[in-house]
Amino acid sequence: MVKTYSNVLCCTSGFGCIKVKDLTEAHTVALDPGLTSTVTPLLHYSTLNVFTMSSLRKFFVIGNWKMNVNKTRIDNIVKFMTAASLDPNTEAVVGCPSCYLSYARHHLPSEIGVAAQNCYKVPSGNFSGEISPAMIQDCGCEWVILGHPERRTIFNEPDELISEKVAHAQQAGMKVVACVCERKEDRDSNRTEEVLFRQMETLAASISDWSRVVVAFEALWASGTGILATPAQVQEVLAKLRYWLRHNVSQEVANATRIIYAGSVSSGNCQELAKLKDLDGFLVGSAALKPDIVDIINSRSTHVSRLINIFSSHERLSKGV
Ligand SMILES: O=C(CO)COP(=O)(O)O
């Protein structure tokens, strides 16, 4: 029996990640008798995990609370996030209003990161109403969301200012969720690529350490509008962003950088989206205030479990059991 899977790597937790074959995105693995003999020894480990290429980038889910929480609501979110079993293969972070950063950090388990939703471009000074990366770190938090679509569109933050903020946050040692977005009029006028690539260009100019950056793409036309982006639409844009990284930064950065999607992600659509080849997680708004965020954090585990099952049944078949 010959089965073909795309971009499959096998890994045992005891031995770290073992590449079955040096796969590029274009390769496929044929589980014919020749290759099966290479794969089979690995299948004997009980802790076998099977990953797609995209799983080399740890799945990343950030629930952005925006301006929708108070202490009581945070307590409630902390309760259901703490009680749930969260997939350890997902890096989970919450985006918290600045006045509650310390409170959220204090109450959430340390495995869940806390991000500020914005910051300014200098460490301190006479900038009423602003906070700095140093202040966020002083609250025990290591992440910041910059260039969020609401900052870009409601507060008219230009690319250049966002770029300066990213540069300073990186210099200060923060991890950054750098956002790019597409409006309905961009899509309607076929300007998606042009608009996103322009945003990527100004962002990239300010990034000194890509290993501490997650790129978030938001389809603004699919956020709070009742219109959902189809998986094909999401994949198309994420692939374009990865292409941009490959051609304008490097192959390594394109392979390693997590690109996540935002726009009405829910417990209903997350599993389907989580299978997309270039999707490495989600930036979640309204569903982050509800227990749905747990399903979204766990949306990949079902996919991985399914792959493990496929391999387990193949192993049983090859043993004739
Ligand atoms: O802006 C967003 C996350 O920051 C997206 O919000 P929704 O998930 O509510 O569409």
Pocket of ligand 1 contains residue 284 by CB under 6 Å? yes
- What confidence score (pLDDT) does residue 301 get? 86
The answer for residues whose C-beta is within 8 angstroms of residue 296's C-beta and 6 or more apart is 61, 63, 265, 266, 267, 270, 282, 284, 287
User: Does 274 lie in the same domain as 165?
Assistant: yes
User: Does 113 lie in the same domain as 35?
Assistant: no
> Hunting for tokens 């991000």 — which residue is that?
115
Mind listing the pLDDT tens digit of every residue in the chain (321 residues)?
223 333 333 333 322 333 333 333 333 333 323 333 333 333 322 223 334 556 589 999 999 999 999 999 999 999 999 999 999 999 999 999 999 999 999 999 999 999 999 999 999 999 999 999 999 999 999 999 999 999 999 999 999 999 999 999 999 999 999 999 999 999 999 999 999 999 999 999 999 999 999 999 999 999 988 899 999 999 999 999 999 999 999 999 999 999 999 999 999 999 999 999 999 999 999 999 999 999 999 999 854 554 554 455 455 456 654
User: Does 163 lie in the same domain as 14?
Assistant: no
Alpha-carbon torsion 181, 186, 190, 193, what sign?
negative
Task: Write the CATH number for 130.
Answer: 3.20.20.70
Tokens of 158: 């230009």
- What confidence score (pLDDT) does residue 145 get? 99
- What confidence score (pLDDT) does residue 133 get? 98
Asked whether residue 249 is assigned to any structural domain, the reply reads yes
User: Does 185 lie in the same domain as 41?
Assistant: no
Pocket of ligand 1 contains residue 223 by CB under 6 Å? yes
ipTM of the complex: 0.99
- What confidence score (pLDDT) does residue 224 get? 86
User: Does 86 lie in the same domain as 74?
Assistant: yes
Asked whether residue 129 is assigned to any structural domain, the reply reads yes
- What confidence score (pLDDT) does residue 85 get? 95
User: Does 182 lie in the same domain as 83?
Assistant: yes
For residue 91, which phi and psi values (nearest 5 degrees)?
Answer: -90, 120
Asked whether residue 247 is assigned to any structural domain, the reply reads yes
Residue span of the structural domain in which 15 resides: 4-54
> Hunting for tokens 């930036």 — which residue is that?
283
The answer for residues whose C-beta is within 8 angstroms of residue 236's C-beta and 6 or more apart is none
In a 10 Å sphere around its CB, with 0-12 CB exposed, 13-18 middle and 19+ buried, how is residue 300 labelled? buried
Q: For residues 179 and 6, give the distance between their C-alpha atoms in angstroms, rounded to a whole number.
A: 29
Q: For residues 39 and 31, give the distance between their C-alpha atoms in angstroms, rounded to a whole number.
A: 8
- What confidence score (pLDDT) does residue 116 get? 99
Asked whether residue 314 is assigned to any structural domain, the reply reads no
User: Does 99 lie in the same domain as 14?
Assistant: no
- What confidence score (pLDDT) does residue 28 get? 30
- What confidence score (pLDDT) does residue 1 get? 29
Domains identified in the chain, total number: 2
Asked whether residue 310 is assigned to any structural domain, the reply reads no
Distance 182 CA to ligand 1 centre (A): 13
Asked whether residue 33 is assigned to any structural domain, the reply reads yes
Asked whether residue 317 is assigned to any structural domain, the reply reads no
Among 144, 270, 286, 297, name the best residue to mutate to test ligand 1's pocket (greatest count of ligand atoms within 8 A of Cβ).
286
Pocket of ligand 1 contains residue 117 by CB under 6 Å? no
User: Does 199 lie in the same domain as 221?
Assistant: yes
The ligand 1 atom nearest the CA atom of 150: 1
Asked whether residue 275 is assigned to any structural domain, the reply reads yes
- What confidence score (pLDDT) does residue 44 get? 28
Alpha-carbon torsion 113, 212, 18, 280, what sign?
positive
User: Does 49 lie in the same domain as 143?
Assistant: no
User: Does 82 lie in the same domain as 156?
Assistant: yes
Distance 99 CA to ligand 1 centre (A): 20
User: Does 135 lie in the same domain as 266?
Assistant: yes
User: Does 241 lie in the same domain as 99?
Assistant: yes
Task: Let me know: does 148 contact 165? Beta carbons within 8 Å.
Answer: no
DSSP per position, 231-286: HHHHHHHHHHHHHHHHHHT-HHHHHH-EEEEESS--TTTHHHHHT-TT--EEEESG
